[in-house]
Structure 1
Amino acid sequence: MQEYLKIALIQTELFWENPQKNRTHLTEKIESISESVDIIILPEMFTSGFTMKAEKVAETMFGETVVWMQELALKKQTAIIGSIIISENSNFYNRLLFVHPNGIIETYDKKHTFTLAGEDKVYTAGKSKLLVSYKGWRICPLICYDLRFPVWARNVEEYDVLIYVANWPKVRIAAWDALLKARAIENMSYCIGVNRVGEDENNHEYSGHSAVYDVLGEKLDNIPENQEYIEIVTLNKDHIKTYREKLNFLNDKDIFTIE
């Protein structure tokens, strides 16, 4: 088991529906990380922005972006996380990929599709959570709109880190800030949110507010808003253990099932 986990958050602009340009842009950012890290986190739909034109930019699980992620993970000897648009079995998915350093991929399809933007009409919703075991840590990665649904994120699996990748607009950024902190506190886990910046072709503005919260809801990062930035934060397993044993809040959680 690894006591510390070093995470790199990449808060970046995205080029609209241009996978090649986004990969080139992100390659430069990933290559610029000089220190050794365990995980690199990219935003939601990092090859395209939050588009509903899935047929224009969708790839398969054998496509260029998947191979790109595997090659970079191997080269940097780090896990890489982010979501892209995947075409599979005549459906489109907003799919998060957790790519291990050895190239093994674990996936999560976004459960809560964003009906306000019509995501539910284009993308097929996922049905199950993903729990990744990595270097002795249990990680639960989710996507954007999932943040508004605490039952889905409820820590019944005793995970250590909750991660959200997002395209969360500036107009509702106060909700993003509040909910990330709440998810950390109620689940007694680290909670990380990685959001994009810039403006998309639908004139939606994104201000970032990527963040890392500890078990007590204390903010651990110094990420500026409204600009591209790479932040590296180290998580401490003992912090989780100490406060879970001291406070025992998770022992009093409600028992339920999701149908």
Structure 2
Amino acid sequence: MRDLSTLPDLNIALVQSDLAWQDPAANREHFEQLLESVKGADLVVLPEMFSTGFSMESAKLAEPEEGPTSQWMIAQASRMNAVVTGSLIIQAADGTYRNRLIWARPDGSVAHYDKRHLFRMAGEHKYFAAGEQQALFNLNGWNIRPLICYDLRFPVWSRDSAETDLLLYTANWPAARRNHWNRLLPARAIENLCYVAAVNRTGSDGKGHAYSGDSKVIDFQGDVTLDCKDVTGVQCATLKGIDLAEYRQRFPADRDADGFTLI
């Protein structure tokens, strides 16, 4: 078991906003302006498909793996000296289209996570290939597991044996189901004994679906420590490493968890 007693605090910036429909250049310009206000963050989180909105036109909108939006994220990460993450439509090297979370580091290196659970009610499974693997990224000693939107409904995919410290959700979660979002996020935090940070969009998309925002940070007891409500902009929170360490020491429920194997 890891010793978390020296885990430093983690500063996280949630970027909640409306999105220009299927207009990557406009969205990059908009988010670049929002990011001008970010100071001292270790991690900056953008919504799901932040460059286009939640579109099923994957063949039309997909960028290559080293395309302009990925390069923009790398540039922003370097400028702010912070990891920048969010998902976009990518055509992978194997030719498939992916709803891919990009993890852009300040040193120019990139990792990624492909959305596992594709939202069949919108036909996402018809236009994208599902991810095959979980991901776990390390940032300043924190184990961070990225997930995308519909993944939230599937608790087994959020579980792991790698002592996740932060579950990170990026989403386009419709206002019609905001109660599900607001109830499931605390459940993921409680059952995994970890922090949860989740970024959703606001406004309406090109299909007329409304989004309520509700981006938030939740602690390991399921308590909301930051709620962005429906406000456009950047809001920041500090995740306390020592608080997480002390809680896991006091309440080690993970030691009684059921073992399982993902297939």
Pair in the same fold by TM > 0.5: yes
RMSD across aligned positions (CA): 1.0
Instruction: Show the 5 A alignment for 1:172-211.
Output: 172-211=177-216
Residue type of the alignment partner of 2:213: G
Q: How far apart are the structure 1 equivalents of 2:258 and 2:166? A: 20
String of CA shifts for 1:86-119, please: whole Å, max 9, x gaps: 0122210000011111111110000000000000
Equivalent residue, structure 2, for 1:228: 232
Equivalent residue, structure 1, for 2:76: 72
Instruction: Show the 5 A alignment for 1:145-164.
Output: 145-164=150-169
Identity, % of aligned pairs? Answer: 42
Q: Do 2:217 and 2:227's aligned partners in 1 also have CA atoms closer than 8 Å?
A: no
String of CA shifts for 1:147-182, please: whole Å, max 9, x gaps: 000000014210100000000000000000000010
SS at match of 1:221: strand
String of CA shifts for 1:12-34, please: whole Å, max 9, x gaps: 1101100000000000001122x
Equivalent residue, structure 1, for 2:3: none
Q: How far apart are the structure 2 equivalents of 1:156 and 1:172? A: 30
Residue type of the alignment partner of 1:208: G
Equivalent residue, structure 2, for 1:110: 115
String of CA shifts for 1:179-225, please: whole Å, max 9, x gaps: 00100000000001100000011110000000110011111014232
1:52 aligns with 2:56: yes
Deviates more, 1:160-169 or 1:55-64: 55-64
Q: Do 1:10 and 1:41's aligned partners in 2 also have CA atoms closer than 8 Å?
A: yes
Equivalent residue, structure 1, for 2:41: 37
Q: How far apart are the structure 2 equivalents of 1:222 and 1:72? A: 25
Equivalent residue, structure 1, for 2:261: 257
Q: How far apart are the structure 1 equivalents of 2:7 and 2:104? A: 18
Deviates more, 1:215-224 or 1:174-183: 215-224
Q: How far apart are the structure 2 equivalents of 1:223 and 1:55? A: 33
Equivalent residue, structure 2, for 1:142: 147
Deviates more, 1:1-10 or 1:231-240: 1-10
- Picking from 66, 70, 75, the partner of 1:62 is 66
Residue type of the alignment partner of 1:221: L
Q: How far did residue 133 of structure 1 move?
A: 0.9
Q: Do 1:79 and 1:100's aligned partners in 2 also have CA atoms closer than 8 Å?
A: yes
Q: TM-score, normalised by structure 1?
A: 0.97
Q: How far apart are the structure 2 equivalents of 1:67 and 1:90? A: 20
Q: How far did residue 73 of structure 1 move?
A: 0.4
Q: How far apart are the structure 2 equivalents of 1:20 and 1:56? A: 15
- Picking from 101, 106, 110, the partner of 1:101 is 106
Instruction: Show the 5 A alignment for 1:110-129.
Output: 110-129=115-134
Deviates more, 1:213-222 or 1:190-199: 213-222
Equivalent residue, structure 1, for 2:249: 245
Give structure 1 stretches of 5+ with no counterpart: none
Give structure 2 stretches of 5+ with no counterpart: 1-5
Residue type of the alignment partner of 2:126: K
Q: How far apart are the structure 1 equivalents of 2:70 and 2:218? A: 29
Residue type of the alignment partner of 1:71: A
Q: How far apart are the structure 1 equivalents of 2:214 and 2:161? A: 27
Residue type of the alignment partner of 2:214: H
Aligned CA distance change for structure 1 residues 222 and 110 (closer, same or farther; 3 Å): closer
- Picking from 86, 90, 96, the partner of 1:86 is 90
Q: Do 2:212 and 2:229's aligned partners in 1 also have CA atoms closer than 8 Å?
A: no
Q: How far apart are the structure 2 equivalents of 1:207 and 1:103? A: 33
Residue type of the alignment partner of 2:242: D
Q: How far did residue 239 of structure 1 move?
A: 1.2
Q: TM-score, normalised by structure 2?
A: 0.96
